[in-house]
Every structure is written in structure tokens, then in C-alpha cells.
Structure 1
Amino acid sequence: MSVGVVSSVLNQLSTFIVEEAKLLRELGLEIQGIVNELEHMKAFLMFAEGIEEEEDPRLQVWISQVQDAAYDIEDIVDEFRLRCNHQDGVKFCGLAQKIFGSMKSLRARHQIAHEIEGMKSRIKSICEGHKRYQTYYGTPNQAPSTYPSAVNNLWRDCRDDALLVEEANLVGIDSPKQQLISELLDHDPRLKVVSIFGMGGLGKTTLVKKIQQDVGSEFEVIVWISVSQTYDMLEVLKELIHQLFQEIRKPVPREVASLMSTDQLKLFVKGFLKDKRFLIVFDDVWDIKFWDGIKWALPDKVNRNRVMLTTRIEDIAYASSVEFSTYVHKMQSLSQEDSWILFCKRTFKDSCCPIHLKKVALRIMKKCEGLPLAIVTIGGVLALKDRSRIDEWKMVQHSLGGEVVIKGKLDNIKSILSLSYNELPDHLKTCLLYASIFPEDYKIRESRLIRFWISEGFVMEKTGMSTYDVARAYLHELINRSLIQIVRGSYDASGRMYHIHDILREIILSKASRRNFAIMATGKQRWPKKIRRLAIHDFKFAAESRGHFKYLRSMVIFKSVEPLPTSILSKLLRGSSRLLKVLDLGGTQLEEIPEEVFKLYHLKTLNLKGTRVKDIPKAIGHLKNLEFLDLSYTNVRELPNEILKIEGLIHLIVFDKPSDSTFVLNGFKGPKGIVKLSCLEWLCHIEANEILIREIGELKHLKVLGIKSLRQQDGKQLCSSLGKLSNLEDLCLRAIKDDEMLDLDDMNLVVHSGLLNLQVLSLWSQLRNVPKIISSLQELTSIELGWSRLMVDPLEYLQCLPNLRSLFLYKAFDGKSLCFKAGCFLKLENLILWRLYNLRELRINKDAMPNLRELSIISLESLKELPWGVKYLTKLQLLYIGGIMDEVIVKQVRGPCEEISHIPKIRIHTEVAESKEAPVRKKPLLSYHTSIRHLRYFVTNEESREPTDD
């Protein structure tokens, strides 16, 4: 993590030297000298952080010194920029302005010269420690073997223990085991690779071992190779040959043992296996280069040969798919039911959980989040506790609420999960650590996390990619490595949600706290002298401790049931650093923005989402470095012209949900000339006007665009402008009212020039027909059609979209019959049909929507029975019936019904339609939040809400 801090500072220093070369002159060489020393220390830090768990106090002190020095250098640079560039709102004219500016710049240069001289001396002292530790520990290229071997031995011991577990004591493996055996024993004659991936502790090795035992009689040769992080290909091949000869009960011939090159050994293995039917397991693969090397030793003959591979990294699991037939299985956490069974087996042996312990036992089990390793390990600790002493059990529970501090067996969990963290590149370590600021069980919104990373300077620039896309690639890499988990149900870029396993969160929280990377303010902890990043859960307590905040770069206040008075926030900000880069006040019920906010010259992210703010003052123009402004779900309806002074603005998001169920979205009136903000990538939801529609095509970087209050006559010019936006991924177009006809016929002409990258499309207006261009947008994953009142079947234009996963129709079709045909909507997972008032027949043919998981039917009053063919939706997990529905349907759902008996979860929230006239509800059943982007959370979390970014 310290490596990431130093890397970030080095990037800023390099930019600073280039930008300020004329001002710095002789200081340039001084700063370059500091850069050179930091580069040397960074190389050693990359090694030193690998042995951090040894907790050598002298080494830890040195690492802290380097990190603090890097932070202080960052402060010096930003203070210099602040003094030179920020005029604090004071304006002068002519000669007086020039004189004042030069005096101020001169003072700033004198000050930075003095501070750099002090840093130079400090860096020199730290370098002496660097040289001592390099001598003691060795260089990064000659790392001592004590730590890695100790970790590998611990990991190997844990894996060996897992292999000794009796199958009778395992739970939740029957279904995946049978599926994997079926893949291994199918009749495909060529070499086939079966890969299993998932985070550490899920039981991949245990599962594969049990499968190997069950299929052993089907193969002539079975070999198990443990690869690990520190594999040596030469040694792997020698071990492979040794096991092969063990299988045929012969010693390895001398001539084979004398072979020294990897190529010779690969050729020997290939020749040995060419006439045999084999199963080879490569367990615990960390490097994709391993597969690229070992595949040449595997003959692809027609003997139905098989390879099994376990890994934590998704890309490795799919690496073999280029050359061979491949089946990939993603390991899932245990369900709550299976978790409880395993927990009780491990903790109480053959007994049941005593009633007086059940509450605390369930809480402990929940912390494990279905991770078998954690359940078995913690169960083993609890098995030794006195069952009459509930206080001892509560101590274990509380120890899992912070850093995992129980010594002994629980250290194994920490060490095993830490392997994945230690293997990360330094920039990903820093990004993952930032996720520690989010509360336990929090659902993290993708856009919010990425904005934090960019604002803090953790994301490196790459040619041909926007910074946001680079950050998104970072996030995908963390998902790929099973360190961040996707929350299902997010199909658009603005709404994807993620989660970190509780125990992994405790590990990164511990690392972040130990290095003063981030502090969680809950009202219980002591404050360190310097706080760089602060996540506030008790803002009253935090405001009283504001003296510690003068070094802050990031302040995030999470939701509170109490309003946040402007006076308390002002008081808190007055004690904070002027160098703050992230200020996130989302959901705090703030009513007015304190004037102190507009003095934060370096501020890059300002999040006021979900607050009660109504007005944005002209002082917003002082925030010259602002990149992300989120005013969603606020009462803001207009932005001042001063917003145009923020030339680097990337995300501008302003809207509010409507107060009723008409779905008329409240957006904002933008100032004239908003296209001057040429860096904009997100702009929503802005009110349409003639100039905006004509000029919007000039914002070439736009990826997310929402325009409201469109009129019929806007259609032709709008289509022409949209055709210029080749980077657009998410488009929402809304008419001024629900009976306004929007002419989008010309949209069909832009297919070759724009919209080809569109993934999310939301159209809210009356339509003559479905724009034909939609069937050409092959990247579409989500479609909303609202108020369309089409008489032609919209499914004809949508059914063959190859990547469509989510479809929402609201007052979109006035016909009487819809039919989902066989072989169509192959990837669709979520379908919502709402207020299709005339719909009398809904048919689902066999082999239509084979991957549908959630079906929501809301206020289809004319529908007289459940959709015909719902029984064919074999993967359906949730059926939601809401709004005003016919009494027959309600009875079908509530009574025994064979058509829906296979669906695990059915929810009903309805009123019975008493006549053909649709009854009017005084209070809407569902609000705007329940559009395609939000309905899933209302339905699935109706009974148990979790903390979330929504």
C-alpha cells in the first residue's frame, strides 16, 4: 500500500516539474533529486511490503517514514499550486493585479524553496535507513526466503487439512460435484480443460479432490500438481514426471532425471502421455504464463483426456479456451441454510445448537458470508468454548466486528486471504484499500468508487483511454481476482453495485488503519496525528475532533437518520485541509452548502446526492479543479452560468425522482453554452432547448447522456446530433409529457456514424414505431420503453439482440397479445411488464428467454391468467406480481399452481381489479425508483434492507 502512495506522489511530481518548469528554474533539479531517491525507495518498498506480516518494528517504522514523507511532499506541491493559482475570489484590474500576482507567486516560490530544502534533508536521512535495510533483507531481486516459505507452508498446511475432511462433513458440494463429473466424463474425444475459480477459502481444492476420488477408475493415469504463487516450471515438470512414474509403479529412469531444460521435459511428458487416458489436476494457479507454458506438454489426442485447474483469477480459468474445449465453474458461497449446517457440524459435532447460543451463533455465522474456510475455522474455535459461557461466544463475535484478532486458527484465514492482496500490483492495492472506507455489508456503486480513485490520483493515464475507462479496468481486474464481488441486477454503467466479503474487508481495514491510509469515524477510536482519508459515521463526534483534519484529502459522510446542520459541517470544514480532493456528503439531508466548500481549490469530487439542497451558488465557479459533481435526488432545478468556468468537469449529474408514479423525471435547466464543458463524459438529466439539441453533438467524449422535456419537432435535429456521439454508452431521452409524440425516424440514419457502442437505451415518449436502428445496436444490454403506446409488437425489433439482459416496458404497448418466441432473448435475465392495459394474452414459448431469472408483472388488468409457458422458464428465481391484477391471477399465485411450482421466490403486492375500468390508487404502489434500474432492489430486499449506495 505504501508503494501505491509513493507511486501516486511520483506521478504528481513528474507532472509538476513539467508544468512549473519556468517558475521553478533552479528548484527543478532539487525536486528531480527527490524523485530519484523516491524511485529507489519504491523498488525496495515493493519487496518490504511483502514481508510486512513479519511485523519487524524497525522495518515498519521505516515504511511509515517513507509514506509520511511522500504525503508531505504531496502537500508541499499542492500548497504551492494553491498559493500561485487561487485568488480567493479577490479581483484586481490592470497593473495592480499583475503586481499582486507576482508578489504572491514570489512568496509562494520562496516558501516552496524553503520546504523543499527541508524535505531534501529528511529524504537523505530516510535513505540511510533504506541502505541499512537493503543490506539486512537483501535486494528486491534477492529476497530472503524465510517469509515466503513460511506463508506457503501455512497455505499448504491449510489445503492439506481441507483434503482430509470426510465427505459426510461437507455441505453444498453435491450439485457442483455432479455437474463437474458430468463434464469430465462426457464423450468429447479431445483434450478438455475443466476450470474452477473463486476467492480463497471457498473450497475449490476440497471439491476437486472429492471429484478426483470419484472418477479415479475412469482414467489410467491421475496426477495432482500443486502450483502456488512461487512455482518453478522446471520443478513442476519434474514433479509431474515423478508422479507419472509412480502411477505406473516404476522409478524415473536415469536418462529422464538427467534432462535439464524445460523444453526437453515437456517433450518427454507429451510422449509419455500420448497413448494413455489421463486426468491431471493443476491446483492453485496464479499466473496465466503457467498455462501458456504447460499446455505444450499435453497431447491433444482422442483419448478423452482431461485437465482440471483451480485458481482465484477468472482470466486464468478461461485461458485454455483458445486451444481446447473448456468448461469453467465459478465457485459460489454457501447458502445460509448450508452455512448453518456446516457451522453446526463443526461447532457442535452431532448435537444441535443450544437455544441460548443460537442468536450469537447465527451472528457469527453471518460474518463468514458463506465462506467454508471461515465457517470451519471459526467453528473449530467455538467448539472449544464453554457452552454455558455465552460471554465467551460474544467475545468471538465482537472480535469479528473489527480486525480479526483472535490468534491461532483464525490467523489462517487472514493469511490465506492476504495472499490475494499481496499478489496485487501496487496501484491495485491502493485502490482496494480505499474500499475499506465503506461500512460493513455496504453495496458500493461503481461510479462512486471510481470517482474516488481518480480524484485521489490513484489512476494512471493511458494513451487512447479516458481516465474513467482505466479506472474501470482496475475494478474489473479486482473482480477478476475474486477480491470484489458483483451484486447482481446492475445492467447500466451508472448503477453497477459491488460488495467486499466481510472477512476480507476486515483485513484491508486493518492494513488501512495500520498505515494511517484511512480512518473510520464511529465515535469510538483514538485519532492519529495525521488523517488523510476520513469516513464519518458519527459526524457530531467528528466535528468535535476537527483539529486532526488539517491534512485531509478525502472526507466521506455516510447516511444518517438525522439532518446534518450546515453550521456543524462549516465547523468541521474550517478545521480541515484546504487541499481536500474528495467531499462526499451523499444522503446527509444537508439543506444548504456551506461557503467553506467553495474555498476548496483542489476539490475534484463533490457529491451531494440525496441531500435537500435547492440552490447552487455562483461561487461554484471557484472550484476550478472539480471533475465530478453529483446532484442527483436533490431539489436543484437550475445551475448558474459560473458552472461553465469549471472546464475540466467530467460528470455533471442533476435530477430528482418524481413525487408520483407518472415517471415524469425532474431534471435541470442548464446555462447557455454548456457545450463549452468539452471534457464532459456524463450529462444528465438536462432540459432540452433548441440550442442544446443543435450543439450537443460537440461533446465528443459523452458516454452517459440524459435529455428531458423533448418535443416532437426536436426529433430530426436530435437524431443528427446523436449521430456524432460515437462514445455514447447510456442514452435516456424523455418527452416533455407522456402523450408527446417524439419523432425518431431519422435515428435510423445514424447507425453507421454513432450509437454503435450504446449499451443502455431509455426512450420515454409516444412512438409511431420502434426505431429500426435498435435491432442494429448489438452491444445493448438494457432497454426501457415508456409511454410508447405502440400498436405494433415491439418484441419483433428486440428479440434477436444478442446481449440484451434487461427489458422494461411501461405503457409501451396497446395491443392485446405478446408472444416471446422460441430461440429469442437468449441472454435476457430481467423482464418487467408494467401497465400494458390492453394486454389479454401473454405467451412464452419453449426455449424462449432460457436465462430469465426475474419476471415482474405489474398492473396488467386485462390479463386473465398467468403467462402461458411460464413453466418453461427453468432458471426463473423470482416472480413478482404487483399493482392491480385480475382476481384469477391472484388466486393462481396464492394457491397451489403447477405452472409456477419451480420458482423459488414469489412475491405478491396487488389489488384486485373489480371492473374493466382501472381503479385509481391515491398512493402509488411503486415510485420512480422501481424502474428497470431499481425495481430489483425493491422486490428482492423488501423484507431485509441492506446498506447501499442507492
Structure 2
Amino acid sequence: MAESAVSLLIQNLIPLLAQEVRLLEGIHDKVVDIKDELESIQSFLKDADARAEMVDMSNVVKTWVKQVREKAYHIEDVIDEYKLHLAKHHQGRRKRFRFLLKVFQFTLKLKPRHVIASKIQDINKSLKVIRKRGERYGFNTIEQGGSTSDTRRDTWHDPRVESLFIGKAELVGIESYRDELIGQLVQGPSNRLVISVVGIGGLGKTTLVKKVYDNEKVVAHFDCTAWITVSQSYKMEELLRKMIKQFYEARKEYAPRRIDTMEETDLIKELRQYVLEQRYVVVFDDIWNTMFWGHIKLALPDNNKGSRIVLTTRSESVAPSNKESPSNHVYKLPPLPLGEAWELFCKMVFQHEGGHCPVELVELSHDIIKRCEGLPLAIVTIGGLLSTKDKVSSEWHKFCDSLSSELESNPHLLNITKILSLSYFDLPYYLKPCFLYFGMFLEDYFVNSARLIRLWIAESFIKEKQGLTLEDVAQDYLNQLIYRSMVQVATIDFSGKTRSYRVHDMMRELLKVMDFEGASIDYIPKEVGNLFHLKYLSLRDTKVQMLHKSIGKLHNLETLDLKRSLVYELPVEIIALRKLRYLAAYIENNDAEFSIDFRQLIKVPSGIGHLESLQKLHKVEANNAALIAELGRLRQLKKLEISKLKRENGMALCTALEKLSLLRSLRIGSTREEEVLELHLMSSPLPFLQSLCLFGRLERLPEWIPRLKSLVRIDLIWSRLMDDPLKVLQALPNLMNLRLYEGCRCEQLHFEGGGFQKLKSLWLGNLRTLSRLIIEESAMPLLEQLVIGPSPLLKEVPSGIYHLKNLKSLEALNLSNEFVLSMQPDEGHDFWKVKHVPSVIFRYRIQGVHFIFYKLGDPELLEMLRDNS
């Protein structure tokens, strides 16, 4: 975020000004002005950064945030350069004044004083302009929340659902904890108790509490019960309604209908009234928000009838503290001991062997269990996969050696990383780099707390707080990671003080997959380069602008996803990533029809040909023939997208493409619409190519295209062919999707009988010269979607549409009034041609990328057409 960049810059400026007053004599006051301006701007940035995450945010706000961030980086560069001069010419511990004077005299030769003063004056002026612009935009100061829990994530199967239905035979190691919790629920004082079960994700909190909740003693003891799954995103009103309904259901009563329309305050009143005379038990499973208990406790009063509330959470800071009330109890669920972990593993893996591990697999099994570190989720998931494998040591050796990559790629093991990654995603932005720093240390390494804190401070991860030292703040950060079950306490000295820490090995593996998609970050710390095992790094939909050169140390990196980030150039160190298989970077256009963008593409360094494991590469800027020639070395490429191709580089590209025999998808764009794509010089076709998209002029259709027997999709955008391309495309045996956008300048397009036998989707867009469309019977027999327009000269609805019996959707975009009116049910003479089509839609573009839609026979459409006639 821009705010974090400015904040860090201010922190660097303050000590610089304090220590180097004499050296900066003459420009000191101007540097002070810079600091003051930055502090003023900072008051707007939290609000602006929040707006920057909004989908409907205006471009002017984006620009303002970008200007501030860039200016901060520019000032930081000046500071770094200045510090570098100091470091280079330091010659021992001399008296401060003599040292500064000597260095000052030297640097004046490199940077004359008037040049420095001029640069700083320019920075000052631009900062004042930026600040005033922020005032005009009306930014406010807001408190910035740290949670990224609302970050968009892919839909996935949550294994915690399965934990609600685990059978008795599958339980290992929780019997004593279960009995203890049951005793706390059905025995003890008559006042309300709140019991929080805390532990790292995958530890079995939900499984344990569900077995307690379903126990016969518990069910018989309470008048009404409710199980509420909370998770990271919840609506309080919905939780309250669900609780009321479950209470009524437990008593075999019907909940009043009025609760469906009640607001939060009324629902709380309803709950309080209902439980007044009831002994209730409620489970709130998977709580993340520290504010949750403060809200929900209002609805569940202490009625002195022995009521109980149970919460499960990963974060101790979320649990109601016993400091708040002696009726609050925090129960920290420990990992499974080695013996019970072994029992659970054998139950899962060796079912057909009666739960007994073969002798030759004992050592390997112990190694796997050790990696799981008592985490039931990991034991059960990995064990379930191993139960399907042959019980031979060679097979198991192979699995153990590849366990890290298996956790990333094997669909049966994704639940482990998904569950654990939720904890990482929920970290505030200031804790993420602190947690990632553990990746510097080897597995099973115990990090001394004092050393860790000093390292964090040295890396500028720690932000000053009034009344606290940096060490105090760092200790608070560390405590937060502990409370969130992200960091484990490793050793405690004789005085009871924690001395060293570590992270769970399975958490170290979240360090092989770093997914920042949608996160509010604008930089990646250089420490990422220390994560040697990292295989997957996604900065998709972030504000990150550049990659640190330390990325070249990630020798195991396989995926680098920069889609819709602000990264436009890769450091030269990228060529060291010989295992890289997927590389993507671009900003998508907002155009609703075509995802075409030539404003920001990825600039790759010389030497890209060394990435011989690469399978996907897009969007690459084809800026020179040498770079294009290197593409021919990427023999494993299956997907390639390049843009800004010049006509004179067409031959080099064709030569390179002939070597890429595994290509499945190819997307080529010219420098501009008018630039000719010179693609005729490829002699042999690409045998496995399934998707071909060409953006740019074609003087004629390349002869190798009709020979692409595997082709499923072809897009010809801005091709402006003079001849009808359908004559050669219609014979492609597997073509299912055809898009022509300014694809030809023909007056007539002719779909001949028997042509396009597998085509399902056809888009004929922006064919300005098209006046006649002929569709013969038996042409396109499987066509389901047809989009036509704009085509201003097309006046008559093709009668051949009537032959398209499988057509499900017909869309007409900005077509002539005459064409559209002729299709209308009441007065159109061509209605019979389209009446069999389930969906007929008329689209009209308004305000650039926005559309207004009308259905067939829409009165508003008819009125508009008549008014325009």
C-alpha cells in the first residue's frame, strides 16, 4: 500500500535529519518540508488505499495513490543513494565532525549542492501539488483494518464439514478431552460458562466439540441447543436468526415467521426473551473476528440455569478472556502425542492389514508422521492417500521425497494447505512479513526471540508506537502470531519466560505456496528470496510494481502469477529459475467483448530461453528479434501469448513457433490495429494447437491455419481480410468456437452446407462492410450461440437462421433499426426465422463499455426503434 511506503519513508527521514544536520546544511529545511508534506499526505492515504480496493473506484483516485507511491519510492532512492555514499567511504571510527566533513566534500564532487537542492525543491513542489489534489478529492482519515478475510478466494470443498460427521471408529486421541469438556458442560456452577477451544487449523477443534455437542448426556441436559458455523465472513443478523430457529427446532417448536424480517436489535431482544427460562448450549465454530464475542454476548445472557457457550478459534486473542470474567475458560488443544498419531495413521493407512504397519514401512511411516507434527488433518489426509498406494517401500520413498510438491499439486492433499492458508490470509498486513521471515530458518530450527526481534527491526518491519520501544512493539507482533496459533512456543526458561519459537512444519510448507491474490500490498519484501522451497508465488490483483532481484534465488519456483498486478518488467535474475513452468503478467482491458490490452505487457530480459521448463508464458512484449528467437528454445511451452509484434519480426516468430511442437494455445498481437502480422512463413503446422487468437491485420489467411486439425477455437481480430475466410475455415474438423471482429472486409459471408460441423459458438463483430449473410441448410448443425454486430449495412435477417435447430442464444449488437424491427413478434416479417430460438437479445452499447439489453418484443425497445426511425 502507498500508506506503508510513505510511513516507512518518514521513519527513515527522521533519524537521517537528526544525525546528518551539518552534512545537509543549506538544504536541511527543505528536507524537513518534505517530511512535513509526507505526514500531511499520510492522513489521506489510509482512506485512499481503502478506496483503491473498490471495484467502482474512479481512475483519478487510482492515479493519485499511484503518484504518492511513486514519489515515495523516488525519495527513498535518493536516501538510499546517499547512504550508499556514506557506507562506501567510511574509514573507521573517527570523530563525528571530521568524518562528516570529509564525506560531504567527497559527495559534493559527485552531486553538486545546487543539483541536490534543485531536486529536493522539485520534490517539495510536487508533494504540495499532490497533497492539495488529495484535499480536493475529499479523502478522509480512517483506521485501516488489517484483516484480509474478505479477500476473494476460489470456491473449494471445506474438509471441516467432514469433521462434523466423523464416525466413532475414526476417533483417536480426543477421548479424554471429550470427556473433560462434557463434564464442564453438564456439571459445575449454575452461572453461564464460556469455553473456548483454541488451536492451529487442522488440529481437530471442530471434531472434538461436535462429539461433545452430540453426546447423549449433553443432549439430555439442555433445554435447547444450537450449532453455528461462523467462519471469516458472516452476517450477524443471519447468525441470530439461525440460532433462534435451532432453539425452536430443539424444542420441537415452530419459529415465528416474524424473525425473517427482524433487524439485529429486535433479534437480540427475541433471543434474550426466549432463553430467559431455558438452559441452553450454543457452539460457535470457527471464530476469527475479535469483535464477535462483544456482539453475540448481548443476545445470550446469564440466566443462572447452567447455560453454556462453546467457541472454537485459531486465535487466543479472539477467545473471551478469564480476565474479563472468571466464568470464561480457554482450552488450548494440544497436537496429538506421537503414540496417538501413530495409532491414527495406522488406522487410516493399513485398514486391510488390520491396522498393523508392515516392518519395511515402519521407518518411512514415522518420517511422515513426524512431518505432520501431531496435526490430525494432515495425518488423516495424507494417510487416506497412502491407503490407496501399493504398500511397497519404493513407492513410499518416492512419496516422501516429493511430499512438498504433493502438498501443492495433489488434489487429495489440497485440503491441508487450504485450511492452513486461511490463517495466513487473515493476518494483518504488518504481520505477514514477520511471519514469512521464519522461512529464512531451517525446518525444526528454534529461533531465539531476541535475535528474531533484532532481525525484524533491522528489516524495518516494526513500526514505532508512542510510549513503546521498537522491541516492545516487536514483542507484541510476536505475541499476536502466537495467539493466532501461527507460531509455536518452543522453549521456556527457568523463570517462565519464552526464549525461542518455531513454526509448524506444515505451516512451513504455506511457505512453498504464497498466494497474495487480491491482497492490499504494493511490494514484496526481498526476504522472499530466502524461501528456497517456494514453488508457487501469486501476486495477482495486487498493487505490486516490481520484483526484487532476490527472486532469482527461488530455484524451486514453478509458478509466478503476476496477472493484473502492476509488474511490467522482470529482473534479469529471473532467468535462473530453471524449474519455472508458468509465467503470466498483464492488466486486463475493461472491454466487455474482448480482453485486449497493449498498455502494459510483461518485459522479459535477455536469456528467457534458459527457462526450458516453461509451459505457459503470457503476456510477453515481443520487442526484438533476438528475444523472439529465444522463444524457440522453450520446447515445453503449451501456452504462449505475445503482443506488440512488428511486421519485420514475423519471420523470426514463425521460425521459433515451428520448434514449439507442444503448443496448445497461441495468442499473437501486433503493435497496433494497422500493423500487419507477417505469419505466412511457417512451413509445418502445430500438431496439437487447440486455440489460436490473432490480433492484427492479415494480408491473407496463413496457409498453415487450415491444416490445424486439432483447432477448437480461432479468433481473428482486426484481420480485415479481403476474401471470405469461411471457405477455408469451414473444413476444420474440430472447430467449436469462431470469433471474427473486424475479421474481414467482405460484403458477403457464406456458410456452406456441411461446413463447420462441430461449431457451437459464432461471433461476427464489427463487420462494417457486411451486407449479406448466407447460412445454408446443414451448415453449423450444432451451433448454440450466435452474436452479430455491429454491422450497419446488414438489413435483412438471414433466413438460414431457421435451419439452426440447436441455436439457444441469438444476440444482436447495435444493428440497424430495420434489421431489429423485422424480427419483432407482432409486426416483423422475419419473426418466423428466429421464433425457435429460446433467447433473443438486443444489445446497445452506451458510455463506452456499458450495454443496455432488450428482449424480443420488449415495449421499450419498440418505442426506441420507432423514435429513431
TM-score of the pair, normalised by structure 1 = 0.47
One-letter identity of the residue aligned with 2:244: I
Letter in 1 for 2:321: A
Q: Which amino acid aligns with 1:159?
A: R
Conservation of the 8 A alpha-carbon contact between 1:277 and 1:303: yes
Query: CA separation in 2, counterparts of 1:509 and 1:211?
Result: 36
Question: For 1:80, which of 68, 79, 82 is the aligned residue?
Answer: 82
Are the counterparts in 2 of residues 80 and 109 from structure 1 also a CA contact under 8 Å?
no
Larger radius of gyration: 2
Q: Which residue of 2 aligns with 1:530?
A: 549
Amino acid at match of 1:530: K
- What are the ranges of 5 or more consecutive residues in structure 2 without an aligned counterpart? 56-64, 135-141, 517-523, 537-546, 556-571, 575-869
1:230 paired with 2:249, answer no
* Aligned equivalents of 2:501, 2:268: Cα separation in 1: 42
Q: Which amino acid aligns with 1:164?
A: F
| CA distance 1:301–1:82, shift in 2 (3 Å) | same
Aligned ranges for residues 393-408 of structure 1 at < 5 Å?
A: 393-401=396-404, 404-408=407-411
The structural deviation recorded for 1:306 is 0.8
The corresponding residue for 1:217 is 220
- Residue in structure 2 matched with residue 438 of structure 1 by the alignment: 441
CA distance in 2, matches of 1:523, 1:222: 47
Kindly provide the CA deviation profile for residues 550-600 of structure 1, in whole angstroms up to 9, marking residues without a partner as x: xxxxxxxxxxxxxxxxxxxxxxxxxxxxxxxxxxxxxxxxxxxxxxxxxxx
The alpha-carbon distance between structure 1 residues 479 and 99, as it changes in their structure 2 partners (threshold 3 A), is closer
Instruction: Go from structure 1 to structure 2 and tell me whether the alpha carbon gap of 1:429 and 1:165 turns closer, same or farther (over 3 Å shift).
Output: same
Question: Which of 507, 511, 528 does residue 508 from structure 1 map onto?
Answer: 511
Superposition pairs for residues 544-943 of structure 1, below 5 Å? none
Residues 244 and 255 of structure 2 are in contact (CA less than 8 Å); yes or no, is this contact kept in structure 1?
Answer: yes
Distance 2:348 2:482 in 1: 30
Structure 2 CA distance for aligned equivalents of residues 68 and 403 of structure 1? 40
Structure-2 separation of matches of 1:321 and 1:94: 52
1:67-125 CA-partner distances (Å, limit 9, x unpaired): 999888656423313535885227999999887454334356559959989x99xx99x
Quote the Cα distance in structure 2 between the aligned partners of 1:49 and 1:178: 47
Q: Which residue of 1 aligns with 2:180?
A: 179
Q: State whether residues 399 and 406 of structure 1, in contact with CA within 8 Å, keep that contact through their aligned partners in structure 2.
A: no
1:198 aligns with 2:202: no
Residue 321 of structure 2, aligned match among 313, 319, 322: 319
Deviation of the 1:40 alpha carbon: 8.2
User: What are the equivalent positions in structure 2 for 1:447-466 lying under 5 Å apart?
Assistant: 447-466=450-469
Question: 1:498 maps to which residue?
Answer: 501
Fraction of identical pairs, as percent? 33
Q: Deviations over 1:423-451 (max 9, x none)?
A: 12222111111111110011111111111
**3-state SS of the aligned residue for 1:319?**
coil
**1:896-922: CA deviations, max 9, x gaps?**
xxxxxxxxxxxxxxxxxxxxxxxxxxx
- The answer to whether structure 1 residue 336 and structure 2 residue 355 are counterparts is no
**Shift, 1:162, TM fit:** 1.2
SS for the counterpart of 2:549 is coil
Correspondence 1:353-364 to 2 at 5 A:
353-364=357-368
Change (3 A) 1:290 1:146: closer
Match status 1:271 vs 2:273: yes
Task: Call closer, same or farther: CA 1:290–1:107 in 2, change over 3 Å.
Answer: farther
For residues 95 and 339 of structure 1, the distance between their equivalents in structure 2, rounded to whole angstroms, comes to 65
Equivalence for 2:190: 189
Provide the residue aligned with 2:798 in structure 1: none
SS class of match (1:442) = coil
Partner Cα separation in structure 2 for residue 149 and residue 237 of structure 1: 25
Q: Which moved more, 1:313-322 or 1:441-450?
A: 313-322
| Structure 2 Cα separation of the partners of residues 474 and 322 of structure 1 | 22
Q: Residues 91 and 235 (structure 1 numbering): CA distance in 2 closer, same or farther, change over 3 Å? A: closer
Q: In 2, Cα distance between the equivalents of 1:39 and 1:306? A: 45
Task: Quote the Cα distance in structure 2 between the aligned partners of 1:521 and 1:430.
Answer: 12
- Provide closer, same or farther for how the CA distance between residues 464 and 529 of structure 1 changes in structure 2, counting only shifts above 3 A: closer
CA drift of 1:4 comes to 6.7
Partner of 1:11: 11
Deviation of 1:241 after TM superposition, in Å, equals 1.5
Name whichever of 212-221 and 399-408 sits farther off: 399-408
| CA distance, structure 1, for counterparts of residue 313 and residue 286 of structure 2 | 5
Q: Secondary structure at the match of 1:424?
A: coil
- Report the CA distance between 1:355 and its aligned residue: 3.1
Q: TM-score, normalised by structure 2?
A: 0.50
Distance 1:76-1:302 versus aligned 2 partners, 3 A rule = same
Q: 1:512 to 1:440 in 2, by over 3 A?
A: farther
Please say if residues 343 and 379 of structure 1, whose CA atoms lie closer than 8 Å, have aligned partners that are also in contact. Answer: yes
Letter in 1 for 2:376: P
Q: Which residue of 1 aligns with 2:606?
A: none
Question: Which secondary structure state, in structure 1, belongs to the residue aligned with residue 366 of structure 2?
Answer: helix
Match among 293, 301, 312 for residue 291 of structure 1: 293
User: Which position in structure 2 is the counterpart of 1:695?
Assistant: none
Secondary structure, aligned partner of 1:421:
helix
Maintained 8 Å contact 1:221/1:278: yes
1:384 deviates by 2.7
Confirm or deny: 8 A CA contact 2:202 2:420 kept in the other structure: yes
Q: Does 1:255 align with 2:274?
A: no
AA aligned to 1:184 is L
Q: 1:835 maps to which residue?
A: none
Distance 2:72 2:442 in 1: 28
| Alignment match of 1:368 (pick from 366, 369, 372) | 372
CA contact (8 A) 2:529 2:554 kept: yes
Task: Tell me if 1:161 matches 2:162.
Answer: yes
What is the identity, as a one-letter code, of the residue corresponding to 2:319?
Answer: A
Q: CA deviation at 1:183?
A: 1.0
Q: 1:102 to 1:386 in 2, by over 3 A?
A: same
TM superposition shift of 1:223: 0.2
Match of 2:412 among 394, 409, 413: 409
The alpha carbon displacement at 1:282 in A equals: 0.9
Looking at structure 1, the residues matched to 394 and 71 of structure 2 have their Cα atoms a distance apart, in angstroms, of 45
TM-superposed CA distance for 1:506, in Å, is: 2.0
1:428 partnered with 2:431: yes
Distance 1:259 1:521, change over 3 A: closer
Alpha-carbon distance, 1:548 to partner: 8.3
- Cα–Cα, structure 1 residues 183 and 451, in superposed 2: closer, same or farther, change >3 Å? same
Counterpart secondary structure, 1:434: helix
Cα drift, residue 299 of structure 1: 2.5
Query: Could you tell me how far apart the structure 2 residues matched to 1:515 and 1:395 are?
Result: 34
Counterpart selection for 2:484 from 481, 485, 491: 481
CA contact (8 A) 2:3 2:42 kept: no
Segment drifting more, 273-282 vs 506-515: 506-515
SS at match of 2:550: coil
Q: Relative to structure 1, is the Cα distance of residues 414 and 522 closer, same or farther in structure 2, using a 3 angstrom cutoff?
A: closer
The 3 A distance-change label for structure 1 pair 270 and 148 is same
Does the CA contact (< 8 Å) of 1:344 and 1:353 recur in 2? yes
Q: Give the Cα–Cα distance (whole angstroms) in 1 for the partners of residues 339 and 66 of structure 2.
A: 45
Q: Contact conserved, 1:313 with 1:480, CA < 8 A, in 2?
A: yes
Matching residue's letter, 1:168: A
Q: Give 1:516 deviation, angstroms.
A: 4.6
Q: Is this contact kept in 2: 1:403–1:510, CA < 8 A?
A: no
**Aligned-pair CA distance for 1:264:** 2.0
> In 2 relative to 1, CA 179–494 (structure 1 residues): closer, same or farther, beyond 3 Å?
closer
Distance 1:65 1:492, change over 3 A: farther
Cα distance between partner residues in 2 of 1:522 and 1:142: 31
- Is the CA contact 1:530–1:548 (under 8 Å) kept in the aligned structure 2? yes
1:475 Cα shift? 1.0
Q: What's the C-alpha RMSD, in Å, of the aligned pairs?
A: 5.0
Three-state SS of the structure 2 residue aligned to 1:195 is: strand
Tell me the alpha carbon deviations over residues 198-240 of structure 1, each in whole angstroms, 9 at most, x when there is no partner.
1111010110000011121211111011111222222221221
State the distance in 1 between where 2:70 and 2:370 align: 38
